[in-house]
A and B are shown apart, each in its own frame.
Chain A
Amino acid sequence: MADATTNLLDGPSGPKPRRKFSRRNIMLYGILAMVCIYYVVPLWVMVMTSLKGMPEIRMGNIFAPPVEVTFQPWVKAWAEACTGLNCDGLSRGFWNSVQIMVPSVIISIAIASVNGYALVNWKFKGSEVFFTILIFGSFIPYQIMLYPIVILLREMGIYGTLWGLVLVHSIFGMPILTLLFRNYFTSVPEELFKAARVDGAGFWGIYFRIMLPMSLPIFVVAIILQVTGIWNDFLFGVVFTKPDLYPMTVQLNNIVNSVQGVKEYNVNMAATMLTGLVPLFVYFVSGKLFVRGIAAGAVKG
């Protein structure tokens, strides 16, 4: 079944292309090129700005490439920018972010995939009600839930620990991930499941031996979404941890918002890009898998 999906998704399904320089093609590529300019300009500006010195920024054109290339802003953003008394830039937060992200991603995906599987193949009374509540939950702004979560974590005695934060990420990642896994498992032929049942396989047996091996694409999507979401999270990271565990985004916020005299746009931009590197890398590497996984997770419903 996974193979079938793959084949289906490999090629575009639109009509066949015509001559190379037809009016249609010029229009098509023209529009795409224009759209791409809109998408690329901010990145271009970020990169160019991060390579300029402050004097050049102040007088210059933000779109122009630097006259004099300097990597100082990058060095400063990574290792020297100050927040309060800590002048070690983003580097402090990098490992914290990794430390927070890895368990959060693993646990939230594990839970959500089991949820999706149970929702599709092992429906029980009320399972859809819980799922609806979960979807409802995805609409609740995090800020609103802050207080109840504080109380919950306090009662559980894990406020301020890494596990508290992992729990929070698992909770708030659950709705959308469960939706994706549920949609994905719906597309798995029921016969497969029934055959396994006849062979005497149980809940976990089917999950580990049949469902898991064929759900690579949706796992890729889930990993991408969670890595991005958790890596970029600021609110939970700052509220539910301590300074020695602050993720990179907190440092980013601190660097960007601690204006010392003049706003150092070049350092800000370098810091911004450094913080975005991990999710960006994941996207660039897994572009094709992402579309394939989304196809499987979002399309079948």
Chain B
Amino acid sequence: MKLTTKLLAASAIVSATTVGATELEVTHWWTSGGEAAAVAELAKAFDASGDKWIDGAIAGSGGTARPIMISRITGGDPMGATQFNHGQQALELVEAGLMLDLTDVAEANNWKDVIFPSSLLDACTIDGRIYCAPVNIHSPEWLWLSNKVYEDLGLPVPTNWNEFVASADAVRAAGKVPLALGNQPWQSNLAFGAMQVAVAGLDNWKAVNMDKNMDVAAGAEYAAVFKAAADARALAVGSNVQDWNQATNLVITDQAAGQIMGDWAQGEFQVAGEVAGTDYTCLPGLGLNAYLSTGGDAFYFPKLDDADKEAAQKRLAALLVAPETQVAFNLKKGSLPIRGDVDLSAANDCMKKGLELLAAGNVMPSGDMLWTPDTQKQVEDLMVEFWMTDLAPEVAHERWVDIISNN
């Protein structure tokens, strides 16, 4: 099998350059160092299979890229495939009949059984049909720490959020920023999301986010979350950066002690040549409640009036989920694969922690699956105001309950 794949791949490289290759334009917003390296794996695999990947990267996060993608799809000039976070982002595009039905690909490749956790495939399923190919799992609930900052201070590296907060004064006294936080709105939102499950615990989290129990949302457990977030924002004063990876870079260069960021931050540490465990430490669930939400990226395929292209789209969909691609892609990206049956022995410490949690079933659905983009945006607006001003936690709590109860 392996040999034939190699042979196929070798001959495909030749044929890819010939006229017969079907070109597919793929749009995405993966442009940071680790992300670009990961997407190169996808392109390489697709080109090797005899087609041609036309890269349509749009830099500046999903917020910049999605309007462009949506405009092009609704404008009648769609790309061959496009990244979205799976969940409700592309729901209406599917309902409007603009997206290609992938159910036959899914059945042929047995996605129902291999994709794990199954919530990923559920998020792609609308009215029993499958419209997207998930490629990775991303969880935002991680705390990244610079070991060197603590070594220099002669302190042990914190093992959870509470220790991190306790050590913050010492970090501050050494002229470093305890918590790196980029200025872009979604990062404040992410930090709050991570603290939700870490501080309030899984049951309360589920009650609010899945059962939409507003009494719990307004209750004492969540008041504690806002209290903790208020502490955290005091620690973030002084990290004057915009992009998430600039904030990560503060941790890499030991100018900041820690950052709350998704597992994609790992790619940046890797590109910088840092080693998990010795140079940096990662704490899933902020070291308190190690549950990961299983959001992530998926590819959607707009309908094209071209049988050749449609066939190529389906080939790409199958390829994205295939084990080899999954391994190659996720190792580079630092994200978790969407299937439990692949061998990731090459994974580093942090990824292994994530894999273990995944295998143990310590997972929960992501915000993209549970809330409409509208509600999420309003929460984001609130969070950015909360993190960047001195809005009282009680007031923020009240307004937050107000937003989510009107979802």
Contact = CB atoms under 8 A, between A and B. Distances in A.
In the complex, A touching B (Cβ < 8 A): yes
Interface of A: 82-86, 146-147, 150-151, 153-154, 157, 159-160, 238-240, 242-244, 250, 253-263
Contacts of A242: 25, 56, 77, 79
Nearest to A250: B58
Contacts of A259: 32-33, 243, 245-246
B377 to A, nearest CB: 15
Contacts of B27: 243
Interface string B22-46: 0001011011110010011001000
Contacts of A153: 75
Interface in B259-294: 268, 271-272
Contacts of B25: 242-243
A261 B271 contact: yes
A160 B75 contact: yes
A241 to B, nearest CB: 9
Interface string B164-185: 0000000000000000000000
Contact of B74 (A150, A240, A257): A150
A262 B72 CA distance: 32
Given A159-B76, A257-B31, A85 B36 contact: yes
A299 to B, nearest CB: 40
Interface size class of B (residues with CB under 8 A): 35 or more
B36 A261 contact: no
B55 interface: yes
A84 B246 contact: no
Interface in B38-66: 39-40, 43, 53-60, 64
B68 interface: yes
B56 A243 contact: yes
Given A243-B27, A260-B32, 5 more contacts: A85-B57, A86-B57, A244-B54, A260-B33, A261-B245
A84 B71 contact: no
Contacts of A146: 67, 71
Contacts of A83: 31, 36, 57, 59
Contacts of B40: 85
A84 B74 contact: no
Given A153-B75, A243-B25, A258-B32, A85 B43 contact: yes
A260 B268 CA distance: 8
A263 B36 CA distance: 15
30 contacts: A82-B36, A83-B36, A84-B30, A85-B36, A85-B53, A85-B55, A85-B57, A146-B67, A146-B71, A153-B75, A154-B75, A154-B76, A159-B76, A159-B77, A160-B72, A238-B68, A243-B25, A243-B55, A243-B56, A253-B59, A254-B31, A254-B59, A255-B59, A257-B60, A258-B31, A258-B36, A258-B59, A260-B271, A261-B249, A262-B246
Contacts of B54: 243-244
Contacts of B249: 261-262
A173 B243 CA distance: 33
B67 A239 contact: yes
Nearest to B65: A238
A35 to B, nearest CB: 29
Contacts of B60: 253-254, 257
Contacts of A254: 31, 57-60
Given A83-B31, A160-B77, A261 B72 contact: no
Nearest to A242: B25
B22 to A, nearest CB: 16
A151 B77 CA distance: 12
B271 A84 contact: no
Contacts of B76: 154, 157, 159-160
Contacts of B59: 83, 253-258
A236 to B, nearest CB: 10
B373 to A, nearest CB: 16
Contacts of B77: 159-160, 242
B57 A84 contact: yes
Contacts of A250: 58
Contact of B68 (A86, A154, A239): A239
Contacts of A157: 76
Nearest to A85: B55
Closest 10 CB pairs of A and B: A84-B57, A160-B77, A258-B31, A257-B59, A260-B33, A159-B75, A257-B60, A85-B55, A254-B59, A243-B56
